[in-house]
Amino acid sequence: MKKFYLLLVLVSITTFVKAQDEAVNTKKKQQGIEALKVAFISRELDLTPDEAQKFWPVYNQYAKDLKNTIGRGNDALDRDEKVLNLRKSYKDQFSNVLGQQRMNKMYNAEGRFRDLLIKSMRNQNQRPQNQRPQNQRVDRGAGGGSRPGRDRRN
């Protein structure tokens, strides 16, 4: 009976550690995506250092508010309306920093980044996990099952 409890504890600990590792990996991926988004938008808007200093605090608050807005409710129309209202509420702040034309460019850049991210994620999910280049041999090590005198190609 003690062995059973010990096994149960070991399995529980392993599961807990794996869940923590996955959470850390997810957080790192999110941070990486955010860094890519900042670089993408910065490049698209061609921000001067002065503009960037004014733009990013406003944008970061906008992104935080947008995340909270999107996270609430399941009704797509209500969510879209709230997003539109949020964009309207930030219109003056973004226009003051970027001007009207570049503000529109910023919203378009956000959409393009999202589309590229989704496309990239779909491509990753469609690629088999064990896919390797065609002419690459698998090293089976000693006792890998090949017979002497036979050349096995993959």
What does the pLDDT look like over 96-129, one tens digit per residue?
999 999 999 999 999 999 999 999 888 888 866 5
4-8, 17-21, 43-47: which is most confident: 43-47
Answer yes or no: is 117 within a domain. yes
Into how many domains does the chain fold?
A: 1
**Residues contacting 147, CB < 8 A, separation 6+:** none
d(CA 125, CA 65): 30
Answer yes or no: is 128 within a domain. no
| CB 13, CB 21: distance < 8 Å | no
Instruction: Considering only residues 74 and 12, tell me which one the structure prediction assigns the higher pLDDT.
Output: 74
d(CA 21, CA 154): 34
Answer yes or no: is 9 within a domain. no
**Residues contacting 117, CB < 8 A, separation 6+:** 33, 36
| CB 49, CB 81: distance < 8 Å | no
Mean pLDDT of the chain: 79
pLDDT category of residue 135 using cuts at 50, 70 and 90: low
DSSP 90: H
Answer yes or no: is 81 within a domain. yes
Range of the domain at 103: 15-123
Answer yes or no: is 41 within a domain. yes
| CB 102, CB 110: distance < 8 Å | no
pLDDT category of residue 75 using cuts at 50, 70 and 90: confident
Answer yes or no: is 152 within a domain. no
Instruction: Give the pLDDT score at 93.
Output: 95
56: pLDDT strictly greater than 60: yes
Instruction: Give the pLDDT score at 140.
Output: 47
Answer yes or no: is 153 within a domain. no
Q: What is the pTM of this model?
A: 0.63
64: pLDDT strictly greater than 90: yes
Answer yes or no: is 91 within a domain. yes
Q: Which long-range contacts (CB under 8 A, 24 or more apart) does 42-45 make?
A: 44/105, 44/106, 44/109, 44/112, 45/98, 45/102, 45/105, 45/106, 45/109
Instruction: Give the pLDDT score at 74.
Output: 76
**Residues contacting 72, CB < 8 A, separation 6+:** 79, 82
